[in-house]
Chains A and B, each alone.
Chain A
Amino acid sequence: GQQLNQSPQSMFIQEGEDVSMNCTSSSIFNTWLWYKQDPGEGPVLLIALYKAGELTSNGRLTAQFGITRKDSFLNISASIPSDVGIYFCAGHRLLQGAQKLVFGQGTRLTINP
């Protein structure tokens, strides 16, 4: 089946540092989504990207939809303790009439105060 390669798998940073993570795929997607999951909770949608080349910001978060439509990255600037969690990318395809998301393995972010 389709797979998304998300990297890095984990990051250990100091508070205030910038963070960058990315997802790549062998398949084309028409939408990229980025989610964050806190312990014991479900994923929360952060940013949705709909067009190749699109660059979108949400506060300190910036994400881009790669021009080839096979990759996306997420940057977090000036990290703070509440940024801790697992970040997931998801690529969207319409398959057999259903809206399907394929998820990456996640990037676990740990911040040292």
Chain B
Amino acid sequence: ETGVTQTPRHLVMGMTNKKSLKCEQHLGHNAMYWYKQSAKKPLELMFVYSLEERVENNSVPSRFSPECPNSSHLFLHLHTLQPEDSALYLCASSQESSREQYFGPGTRLTVT
């Protein structure tokens, strides 16, 4: 595997479910990011992890809970989501000192 991978690619969940999104990067980077992409809105930064420490939580509701167990893996734990949380969730990675971020293919999330 190369680049940034995300699983699952598609997820449908009810509002009472608990699920997790997974991201893995094979680029040797040490910073990872979660973005939300909704229709007709710019990409919104949700969380930033640099050197495995969270350095940014962009006023994201607590029903989204990130986890970064090591520099190659990033998770987004989801629980009691709302229909308006339906979106494409993108993971990205970079070197901590670099401005260039590389994205995974995203997880298309639908909350019913």
Residues of A at under 8 Å CB distance from B? 3-4, 30-31, 33, 35, 40-45, 48, 50, 88, 92, 95-106
Q: Residue-by-residue, is B88-104 near A (CB-CB < 8 Å gives 1, otherwise 0)?
A: 00101010111111111
Question: How many inter-chain contacts with C-beta < 8 Å in the A-B complex?
Answer: 67
Is the CB–CB distance between B50 and A98 below 8 Å? yes
**B55 CB-CB contact with A under 8 Å:** yes
A98 neighbours in B (Cβ, 8 Å): 48, 50, 55-56
Chain B residues with a Cβ closer than 8 Å to the other chain, count: 27
In the complex formed, the residue of B with least CB distance to A89 is: B42
Question: A100 with B45: in contact, given A42-B4, A42-B90 (CB under 8 Å)?
Answer: yes
In the complex formed, the residue of A with least CB distance to B40 is: A105
Bound state CA distance, A59 and B7, in angstroms? 32
Is the CB–CB distance between A99 and B101 below 8 Å? yes
